[in-house]
Amino acid sequence: MTAIKDKGPANPDVVIIDYGMGNLHSAHKALEKVANGQKSVGISSDPQVILNAERVILPGVGAIRDCMAEMHNTGLVPIIRECLNNKPFLGICVGFQALMESSEENGGIPCLGHFDGQVKFFGDDLRDADGQRLKVPHMGWSQVTPLLDHPLWQDIPAGERFYFVHSYYVQARQREQVLARCDYGSVQLDAAMTANNVAAVQFHPEKSANAGLKLLENFLSWKP
């Protein structure tokens, strides 16, 4: 896949990183809605545009193998690493998984290693408390429980539901960095993580109605 043409103003305040894999347009639309003209939002693969932005978002959909390959192919890995070090950063879905050390997918895929931990497969025989087999991927609305008092969760009720689509889940090693969890059958997955200026969520906030929009709005005002 190739990056799309940049969308939005020449030097946006908020950049959704375009490396050819991600839910770019719906995320852009949701961010523009919550920004309400107070911040400009763009989609870009241009390293300088990304580095000049006040804050950045790393999306991701599909296979982590393909996502990591495209990050390397577009030459954006060093840019992403720099952003992880110095500005408010939000990873979404596979963009979250890419921040971990590695994924079990395809026998093992090295990731960016910003957070300590692995990305695990739900398995082929996942069941609920009654023994009923659950579908993989985990797709649809699930309750998320915040574990930390964090600005990203401001004015979002505990136990709010968010929209998920994934076959692999994050298992963080540094448990104090887990911002929220979600139960799917026998698996308690790390639904969100944060440390310093970086946050990441497994669900799709841009598809999660009012709660997701509120989280994105909180990200735009977050001052880590």
Catalytic residues: 93, 204, 206
Distance CA 57, CA 44 (A): 11
How far is the C-alpha of 14 from the C-alpha of 220, rounded, in Å? 8
Q: What angle do CA 46, 166, 185 make, to 5 degrees?
A: 155
What Å distances lie between residue 45 and 73, 99, 121, 147, 221, CA to CA? 12, 18, 30, 34, 24
**Could you tell me whether strands 109-110 and 102-103 are parallel, antiparallel, or unpaired per DSSP bridges?**
antiparallel
Name the residue among 48, 45, 36 with its Cα closest to residue 16. 45
